[in-house]
Amino acid sequence: MESKSKLLGHPIHPILIAFPLGLLATASIFDLAYLVTQSATLATVAFWMIVAGIIGGVIAAAFGWWDWAHLPQRTRAARIGMWHGIGNMLVLGLYVVSGVLRWQADALLPSGIAIGAGFAGLVLLGVTGWLGGELVHRLRVSVDDGAHLDAPSSLSGQPATASATTKEVLRERAVGDDRTFK
């Protein structure tokens, strides 16, 4: 099923999820580094990554919800999409708790609970990321109908099912002449 929200021919939700995924996961890495070094700078960086990750997550969620709302209901994809969305709301909630606790702390230094909420969010993020991968790679959600290895560019205005690119025509001619096309 093709995505209902696209930018330059590509689904928006899969583009946007890279930001919260990367920012929130990296915030937890900075928390780990903070625990080892006790550097307030690392804790501050983790806090601002959490803030940016939450903002990015909310934006990505809006486009994900739009795509999910257009899935045929009573399908495996709709059920997995629902759990993917609910899980990611919990992820954002855990990181919001972590961020609020840091904001209330002196010099943004995280408490054990703040760090624990972030690590719990990271584990859940791994699960919801896998569910998102299941939607795309197994159930073909957000994949153009008829997509194939020689589909034309998204910017061409042609459907993914279009073929007979210049490369294919040249390949057919080369094969017909017993020459190898490279």
> What is the pLDDT of the chain when averaged over all its residues?
89
Q: Which residues contact 136 (CB under 8 A, 6 or more apart)?
A: 14, 142, 143
As beta bridge partners, residue 7 has 10
Maximum alpha-carbon separation in the chain: 76
Q: How far apart are CA 146 and CA 132, in angstroms?
A: 21
Confidence at residue 146, expressed as pLDDT on a 0 to 100 scale: 79
Confidence at residue 172, expressed as pLDDT on a 0 to 100 scale: 61
Q: Which residues in the chain land under pLDDT 50?
A: 181
Confidence at residue 11, expressed as pLDDT on a 0 to 100 scale: 86
